[in-house]
Structures are given as C-alpha cells and as structure tokens.
Amino acid sequence: MADCIFCKIVDGSIPSKKVYEDDQILAFYDLEPQAPVHVLVIPKQHISCADEVDESNSGVFAHIFEKIPQIAKELGLTNGYRIVNNCGDDGCQSVKHMHFHLLGGTQLGGRMV
C-alpha cells in the first residue's frame, strides 16, 4: 500500500535489519527498541490491524505464530519473551500495518499498561 512504511520495508524501498523472511512474513529489528531484543514480525500483505483479520487472511497469522518460536530461539530468547500487538488509537498503534512486537532479553515488567 502506498505510504505504508512497513509495505516499503517489505518491498525494500526503506531499509531494515532483517532477522527472518519468507514468502508470507518478515521480521526485522525495531528502530527504537524498548527491550534488549525488540523485533517486529509482520505479514507481507498489507493488513491494517486486528480489526481487519477474517477468514480470508487469518492463515498468515497462524504462520507468524508458528515462526515466532524459531525466531525467538535464533535471537537467544531462551528464557521467555513477550508478544505485543497494538490496535487502533486507544491501543497506541502508530504504524497501520499489523505487526507483532517480539520483546525479550531481560526480565520484562509485569504490567501491560
């Protein structure tokens, strides 16, 4: 989608530090890490947020959750991690291309908000 930062990362017109890629998904380091390890995992297809998930596109999210353990292991997250998805304004979603934050590398805080 035009003007979507993450679509531009997918097509290579904006650089990223990739940690995993296949035909359906991409994982890359967050520009402003909030933990020692902070990676974003995205579908290559433009899906704005969780509100847009339906029967026609949900398969890619199963794929993401199948790959996250492999990505986490490769990043050395052997003692656990957190997966975060922000949706919409109240969820503080700043990039409107659905993504999962994979955070770890330290003992994370116990509160979600």
* Residue ranges that bind ligand AMP, judged by CB under 6 A: 5, 14, 16, 30-32, 40, 86, 92-95
Q: At 68, is the secondary structure helix, strand, or coil?
A: helix
40 or 68, CB closer to ligand AMP?
A: 40
* In the complex, minimum distance from the CB of residue 12 to ligand AMP, in angstroms, rounded to a whole number: 12
Quote the least distance from Cβ 5 to ligand AMP, whole Å.
5
Structure tokens at 65: 């959750």
Nearer to ligand AMP, 55 or 89 (CB): 89
Cα 53 to chain centroid distance, Å, stands at: 15
Asked if 97 is an active-site residue, the reply is no
Is 13 or 78 the residue whose CB approaches ligand AMP more closely? 13
Order of all β-strands in the sheet with 25-29: 18-21, 25-29, 37-43, 100-104, 82-84
User: Of 38, 97, 99, 101, which residue is the catalytic one?
Assistant: 99
Token pair 């790959």 is found at 67
Written as six digits, the tokens of 3 are 């003007």
- The catalytic site residues sit at 99
